[in-house]
C-alpha cells in the first residue's frame, strides 16, 4: 500500500463523526484522491480504447448534452436547453453526473482561536445531507468548535424564499450542484438502440476503471472535485469524466467542449469556465462568507461524439500518469 493510501486510512480513522441528530441523509461517496490503482489499469484502459475504436467504425455519432444547476435551484431552471447540435436527433438515454448537497459554513475555532472557515462534511468518507443549524447552535468535533456563520449574501430556496436564521440574518451556505446528461442519436430506431447499447457497455467498463486510477490521473480528471462527490453509476462516471476533460481544452488533445447559459432558444457561451464547486478545505484561512456562486445558476455543455471523445480521453489519461 502506498503512502497516499496510508494517509487515507489514517484520515478516516482520525476524522470525528457528525452527530446523528443533524444528519438527514447519507450516501456513498467517490473520493478521487483516495484510490488504489492496480498494476493492470493501463492495459485495461488500452483494451477499452481499442474496443471504442472498433465501435467507431460502424456507428453514427452519439451526442451528449450535460446540464448543470446550482442547488437550491433558484432562479428556477428555464425550459430547455435547446442546443442546435442535437437538432433532428432523438434523446435515447439519460443519467446523473456528479452532485453535492448544499453545505452550511462554520467558523472553526480551537482553544479560543479562530482557525478558519469550513463545512462539517467535506472531508468525511461519505456524503451527508445535514440539517441546517441556527445561528446560536454550536458543534464540537474532535476538539474543534464549529459556529454557524452569517452570510454577506442571501441564498434563496427553490420557491424563492430567503434562507435565514431565526434572527433574520442570512445563513452562510456553500451551494450544491446537480448534473444530468442526455444522450441523443440519429438514424432508425433499431440503429439508435444498437449504438447506445454498445457505447454504454464500453462506458460501464471504462467507468469501473475510473474508480481505481492513480492519484496523478484523478487530479487531471477531477481537479474541481478534490473532496469527491456522491457516488454515481459506472456509465455516469465515464460520461462525466469526458466532460471534465473536454472543458479543460488541453492543447495536446482534440477533446474539447464549451459551456452555455440559456434562456429559451438563446444560448450564451460562458467565457470563463465556472468551477464545479467553490472549494473549502479544513485548513482554509480565506474569507468564504462571499459564497454566492458567480457563474450562471444553470448551464449546459455538449459533446459531439461520445465514442470519438472516449478514444481521445484514454490518450489523455495514459499521458497523465507519472
Helix (H) or strand (E) holding 48: helix 41-56
Average pLDDT, the chain: 88
List, in sequence order, every beta strand (DSSP E) within the chain: 23-27, 29-30, 63-71, 90-96, 103-104, 106-110, 113-118, 127-130, 139-141, 144-148, 173-174, 176-185, 229-230, 259-263, 266-269, 298-303
Instruction: Encode pLDDT of 36-89 as tens digits.
Output: 999 999 999 999 999 999 987 667 899 999 999 999 999 999 999 999 999 999
What pLDDT, on the 0 to 100 scale, is given for residue 15?
64
Residue 284 pLDDT: 45
Low-confidence winner among 117-121, 202-206, 225-229, 268-272 (lowest mean pLDDT): 268-272
Which cell numbers in the block locate residue 85? Answer: 447540435
Those residues whose C-beta lies under 8 Å from the C-beta of residue 310, and which sit 6 or more positions away, are 49, 52, 202, 203, 206, 238, 242
Question: Is the pLDDT at 287 greater than 50, yes or no?
Answer: no
pLDDT greater at residue 278 or residue 121 = 121
Give dist(CA 54, CA 75) in Å, integer: 44
The pLDDT of residue 122? 81
Residue pLDDT, tens place only, 125-137: 899 999 999 999 9
pLDDT tier at 146, thresholds 50, 70, 90: very high
Mean pLDDT value of segment 278-307: 67
Mean pLDDT of 194-223: 95
* Secondary structure in 3-state letters for 117-176: EECCCCCCCCEEEECCCCCCCCEEECCEEEEECECCCCCECCCCCECECCCCCEECEECE
State the first-to-last Cα distance of the chain, in angstroms, to the nearest integer: 17
* Residue 204 vs residues 64, 210, 241: alpha-carbon distances, Å: 16, 10, 12
Omega before 41 cis (within 30°)? Answer: no
Dist CA 97 CA 81 (whole Å): 17
Residue 281 has pLDDT above 80, yes or no: no
What is the pLDDT at residue 289? Answer: 36
Amino acid at each position: 500500500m502506498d503512502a497516499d493510501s496510508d494517509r487515507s486510512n489514517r484520515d478516516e480513522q482520525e476524522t470525528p463523526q457528525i452527530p446523528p441528530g443533524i444528519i438527514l441523509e447519507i450516501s456513498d461517496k467517490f473520493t478521487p484522491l483516495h484510490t488504489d490503482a492496480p498494476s493492470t489499469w493501463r492495459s485495461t484502459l488500452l483494451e477499452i480504447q481499442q474496443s471504442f475504436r472498433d465501435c467507431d467504425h460502424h456507428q453514427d455519432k452519439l451526442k451528449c448534452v450535460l446540464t448543470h444547476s446550482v442547488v437550491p435551484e433558484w432562479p428556477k431552471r428555464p425550459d430547455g436547453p435547446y442546443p442546435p447540435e442535437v437538432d433532428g436527433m432523438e434523446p435515447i438515454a439519460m443519467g446523473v453526473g456528479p452532485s453535492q448537497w448544499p453545505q452550511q459554513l462554520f467558523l472553526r475555532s480551537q482553544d479560543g482561536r479562530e482557525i478558519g472557515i469550513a463545512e462539517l462534511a467535506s472531508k468525511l468518507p461519505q456524503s451527508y445531507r445535514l440539517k441546517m443549524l441556527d445561528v446560536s447552535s454550536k458543534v464540537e468535533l474532535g476538539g474543534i468548535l464549529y459556529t454557524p456563520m452569517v452570510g454577506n449574501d442571501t441564498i434563496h430556496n427553490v420557491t424563492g424564499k430567503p434562507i435565514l436564521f431565526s434572527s433574520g440574518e442570512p445563513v452562510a451556505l456553500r451551494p450544491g450542484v446537480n448534473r444530468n446528461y442526455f444522450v441523443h442519436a440519429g438514424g432508425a430506431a433499431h440503429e439508435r438502440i444498437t449504438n447506445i447499447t454498445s457505447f454504454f457497455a464500453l462506458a460501464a467498463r471504462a467507468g469501473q476503471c475510473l474508480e481505481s486510477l492513480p492519484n496523478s490521473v484523478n487530479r487531471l480528471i477531477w481537479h474541481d472535485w478534490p473532496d469527491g462527490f456522491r457516488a454515481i453509476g459506472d456509465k455516469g462516471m465515464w460520461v462525466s469524466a469526458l466532460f471534465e476533460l473536454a472543458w479543460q481544452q488541453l492543447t495536446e488533445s482534440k477533446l474539447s467542449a464549451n459551456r452555455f447559459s440559456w434562456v429559451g432558444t438563446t444560448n450564451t457561451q460562458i467565457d470563463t469556465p465556472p468551477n464545479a464547486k467553490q472549494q473549502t478545505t479544513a485548513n482554509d484561512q480565506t474569507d468564504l462568507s462571499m459564497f454566492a456562486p458567480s457563474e450562471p445558476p444553470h448551464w449546459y455543455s455538449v459533446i459531439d461524439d461520445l465514442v470519438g471523445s472516449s478514444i481521445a480521453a484514454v490518450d489523455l489519461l495514459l499521458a497523465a500518469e507519472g
